[in-house]
A and B are shown apart, each in its own frame.
Chain A
């Protein structure tokens, strides 16, 4: 039940592409998250899959069926694509009850009334809304409306479920618990979901695979952990979490290779480095703030002085001035540390990730 997007382009005005020549495969039975800042084309891509926007070019296949193809002049309307969708605003019809809202997809597909009724009840139970069917949809809380929207999209067993920033209207704690529920629900019914969000924490916690968007294209896609640990470009490294990006060179080869600062020649780490991302003999060494260790005595190490200290409860964020520039460092609480303290920073070779470019 995978969704295949091949070379799609969408321009609202000629010459200004929202997405250009975008290709990707969203695998069946998984949650694929489209992540990126606003205006990067993730929502447009989702709406193209839904049929709510028509691409200017390309081809879209859902479960092997071509739903859009500029070459074959195919463009199925949304109602013919057999999908479910949860909208950012939930789009609960205010003139209908909860039951009627959830019933509508079944009515639209001509499911007999008594069978439909039973299915609506089952679905409402599945999302934890049993007993609320006769409520007017507008009398529900935000979280309940969200569940109605999910129930409505599940009730007809669509091949693919599309979610457009579904959690962004909920408050912080509800958002986190809904994340878990969505994840559970997806596993239980083995659904294929494509989920749009701009919240990287949400993306990493819910995704089987993240598709990171940048300027109308997929910059990189991978399992969340891989994407975080092994970003292929500077953009990905900076977008996901925080990163120290150090222009570097490799000295020597093999197990005793040394990573040195390209600017000052300081040795940063020693060991075996994977330079397959590098196109030249120079590039960027990425060290995540939590990868730096503050223990003295390791070799090689950088001496530095603490510039700023930000206490964040479970952890402390430091800015450490070193010969190779200011480094962002995160250490776990409790730890006594003050501005002006002298510290030594070290990192093991396996925690340095190499990115091409400068």
Chain B
């Protein structure tokens, strides 16, 4: 510690032993919440200790490789992830182009509404689509059958899964590609047209290649999110037993006793899958970022669509209907009937939310965990962002890297690592709400760090330095100058984490016990038991807790906070 302190003092902007103490602490947190859990995933799949000697053990790998059902899970994951990526990219790119580069009426409104699908919990979206397009009970099929056309759609298929996941991930593609289109210098296209190319050729030979890296990044993001999804694949794949790796891990975890080795190997599969995708992106995009971000906003060139603009508008609203309005409507409707589409109106399902002990208990757990985790993670994020932006401490890039690492590790695999670790530690973390808080902190710290540091880099360091000169110490400067200046980003970090944690399912599935059941687990179990009417009302409450609370906080933050 002494050596570390003197060495870092020598290389810091402002010498302060407290900085290195803080740095050591942050590092320790990351080691415990990220590094060790990830190591445990690999350790349990690959090694064992025999006679106090560490030996490599391929037994579990052989077991997984030799069993057909794991191969099927692997193929299913690949097929669904690729399919969902294709759906999301096609929808997202088309929407981005229509909304940014054409005169589609109401483009701004559509673009604002199009972020909503991101905040609809995957579980709720999948459940809504069961009500819309499942065999027998799906609304589409009901209507079609009444009209004598049979049952045209089946959501319980690979295609159905890819479609539902794709429409809920399309907004990510939309946002990334839209911002690339906006930051592209319009004179690039003008130069093309002046050189004699048609509008269509300009689009193909100039616009598309320039935004290609953005499209590719968003595709990788979609792919990585999809292979880590748990709620949607289980809900949609269960009835025909189309199981993905995540659903397999869940199943194996339910076994008594669970086959830890197999679970570890399956988790390694997931980590390798997403790791490979991230590497591919890194490798392909190296030095290929054409879109120069100058911080200067260009006014994009608008293509006049003529009457086709109404068609474009219709297409955009069709998307919103499929992803937002229809699912919402169908869940509300389902919550009002005694059982699915019985036609008998009832308040019972809504009243159940008030009266049920289960609801009250799990809701209490969820809120407690969420508030604790969102607060700790944001606080942690503040300090990590400050250390990486404001000091030159050696190792700060490593810290940044370690914080970012779990973002590409599927939640369920990360949860497995956390579980394996705390199962072995004798202090009573396992089975308490604290293990869930720690898992959230490790997995999502990068969200807080990212949000806060992007705001912190905009605060001139001299604003802090002048406070030091004026006589404030380091902590006082942080609390009186820095934090007030980045307050909007702190609020949005907290709200973002809140909205993720309150409905999180893939990690709590692994980490909860009967005492620490969360609200999302209750909803999941209710679905598992087939009580669809209750699932509908529980889903509504999830939406209310997540999306609605987020919008309220955002709106009030905008009113109170200093403008960003």
Contacts and interface: CB of A to CB of B under 8 A. Distances in A.
Contact of B465 (A52, A56, A84): A52
Interface string A65-100: 000000000010111000111011101011100000
Contacts of B465: 50, 52, 78, 85, 87, 91
Contacts of B471: 79, 104-105, 108-109, 156
Contacts of B267: none
Interface in B338-369: none
Interface stretch (B129-137, B412-420, B472-480): B472-480
A77 B469 contact: no
Nearest to B16: A77
B463 interface: yes
Given A54-B14, A75-B9, A78-B14, A89 B468 contact: no
A89 B16 CA distance: 24
Contact of A79 (B9, B463, B469): B469
B15 A77 contact: yes
A250 to B, nearest CB: 51
Contacts of A152: 466, 470
Interface in A33-79: 50-54, 56, 75, 77-79
Interface string B455-490: 000001011011111111110100001001100000
A56 B11 CA distance: 8
A56 B473 CA distance: 22
A156 B467 CA distance: 13
Contacts of A94: 485, 562
Interface string B1-45: 000000001111111100000000000000000000000000000
B469 A88 contact: no
A78 B469 contact: yes
B462 A91 contact: yes
Interface in B434-461: 460
Contacts, number: 85
Interface in A80-137: 83-85, 87-89, 91, 93-95, 104-105, 108-109
A290 to B, nearest CB: 40
A94 B484 CA distance: 10
A156 B562 CA distance: 29
Given A53-B13, A53-B14, A75-B15, A95 B466 contact: no
A109 B471 CA distance: 7
Nearest to A76: B15
Contacts of B473: 77, 79
A272 to B, nearest CB: 51
Contacts of B460: 89, 91
B437 to A, nearest CB: 32
A85 B466 contact: yes
A75 B12 CA distance: 12
Given A54-B15, A56-B10, A79 B462 contact: no
Contacts of A91: 460, 462-463, 465-466
A156 B466 CA distance: 13
A80 to B, nearest CB: 8
A157 to B, nearest CB: 12
Given A50-B469, A87-B466, A104-B467, A93 B12 contact: no
A44 to B, nearest CB: 11
A50 B476 CA distance: 18
Contact of A54 (B12, B474, B562): B12
Contacts of A156: 470-471
Contacts of B466: 85, 87, 91, 93, 149, 152
Nearest to B466: A91
Interface in A4-43: 12
A93 B392 CA distance: 24
A93 B474 contact: no
A93 B468 contact: no
Interface centre among A12, A79, A85 (most CB of B within 10 A): A79
Contact of B470 (A56, A77, A95, A108): A108
B455 to A, nearest CB: 13
A33 B16 CA distance: 29
B476 A52 contact: no
A52 B468 contact: yes
Nearest to B467: A104
A40 to B, nearest CB: 19
Contacts of A56: 10
A105 B470 contact: yes
A95 B462 contact: no
Interface centre among B9, B467, B468, B470 (most CB of A within 10 A): B470
Contacts of B392: 12
Nearest to A102: B470
Nearest to A86: B466
B470 to A, nearest CB: 4
Given A78-B465, A91-B463, A51 B14 contact: yes
30 contacts: A12-B11, A50-B465, A53-B14, A54-B12, A56-B10, A75-B9, A75-B15, A77-B468, A78-B14, A78-B468, A79-B469, A79-B470, A79-B473, A83-B469, A84-B469, A84-B470, A85-B466, A85-B469, A87-B462, A87-B465, A87-B466, A93-B466, A93-B481, A95-B484, A104-B472, A108-B467, A108-B471, A152-B466, A156-B471, A162-B469
Given A52-B13, A85-B465, A89-B460, 13 more contacts: A12-B392, A51-B14, A51-B468, A52-B468, A77-B15, A78-B465, A79-B469, A83-B469, A91-B463, A95-B484, A95-B485, A104-B472, A108-B476
Pairs of residues from A and B, 9 with the lowest C-beta to C-beta distance, nearest first: A108-B471, A54-B15, A91-B466, A91-B462, A105-B470, A78-B468, A87-B462, A85-B469, A79-B471
